[in-house]
Amino acid sequence: MSAEYATFGLAPAMRAGGVLANGDYQVHRDFVDFIVDGRPLLFQLSDLDAVSPLASDVPPAIFTAQVRSLLLETDAPLPDGRFVVYGCPECEDLMCGAVTAVIERDGEDFIWRDFAWQTDQHADLELNGYHGIGPFRFRGPEYRQALAGLLGDAVGTRRRVLLIGSRVALLGKLAAALRTIGIGADITDGAQDVPPDELRAYGAVAFGRSAGEEQRAAVRRSFDRAGVEVAYVEGLAPIVPLLVAQIEHALDRSPVEQRRLTRLVAADGEAGVEITSPCRVQLTAYRLDRLYRTHTHELFDGVLEPGRHRIALDGKAVKGEAFVVARTSGSVLVEAMAR
């Protein structure tokens, strides 16, 4: 079969979880994405909220089976030699819809072709095919090396967060929200007595406003002594959805150049965002009034093309102490509204 050669690689990616403006929860998923010719394949599929079968939260045996399946060491799971390339991040049920493709060998090469959106056992290429995507021909050694490398490496990510502060009620609500979306959370006022092996389980440390400088410095020293690199989050305000968004951003391990949402600024009644591929962008404002009550405003929800965009904001939504959250399916950015 004729097809131009494409490069094949893998990179960590994230489906951003969060507490949404309407009160719903969105589950956090870490996965390994397919990088074709230097760009995530997912970005070629319009604004699709999905994850690859190589998710870090599946049991090791299932993860290994998925890798061996993509290496064609086992039979295709769907008729006509089709494999699931991206599936539903919430349940991974084919009934919710999945991107599938035929994966086959041609000599030493591997070919991915006939991409389609599929909701049952058989794909209708005429009706639901991704025309114009693929076929991709991957050189066998490069393809096998990338996938086989996953079998010998630990692909799990550190999805636990250490919460530092004295406002136990707020931290308790934050921990509950994080656990609901699939992120473990522990609350403490310090880390000096925590064994190094336990510190290695954390991917981020979030400091509440009540945590003093001495307390923060002591926590940092504990992680430094243990040789553990973590992301530190300085809590902007005692607002649970806002703090969840900050933590989601801190846990993002995907390469910056392979993210859809790369920039957010909030000033002078406008939000500036930079997008690398067409996607749905949601802007939400969180504001504290003089009585420290939280007000939530949905500012924008639409599909944007690649490039930089300036979006006018409702002045009432961002007056006083306000914060803007920009969200796509794969990333979250947070900024305080410049006064």
Average pLDDT, the chain: 91
What digits encode the pLDDT tens for the residues 54-85?
A: 998 888 888 999 999 999 999 999 999 999 99
Measured CA to CA, the distance from residue 63 to residue 41 in angstroms comes to 20
What digits encode the pLDDT tens for the residues 293-313?
A: 999 999 999 999 999 999 999
- Quote the DSSP letter at residue 168: H
Residue 90 confidence (pLDDT): 87
CA 119 to chain centre: 24
Q: Which residue has the tokens 């090396």?
A: 145
56-80 core/surface letters (b: 16 or more CB in 10 A; e: else) = bebeeeebebbbebbbeeeebebee
CA distances from 4 to 32, 110, 112, 138, 146 (A): 24, 12, 11, 9, 19
Strand ranges, E, within 21-96: 25-26, 29-36, 39-40, 82-86
All structural domains of the chain, each given as residue ranges with its CATH number in brackets, are: 8-152 (no CATH), 157-253 (3.40.50.2300), 257-338 (2.60.40.10)
Is 285:245 a contact under the CB 8 Å cutoff?
no
- Top-confidence residue, 76 or 153: 76
Sheet containing 261-267: order of strands:
261-267, 270-275, 307-312
What is the reported pTM?
0.89
- Top-confidence residue, 59 or 86: 86
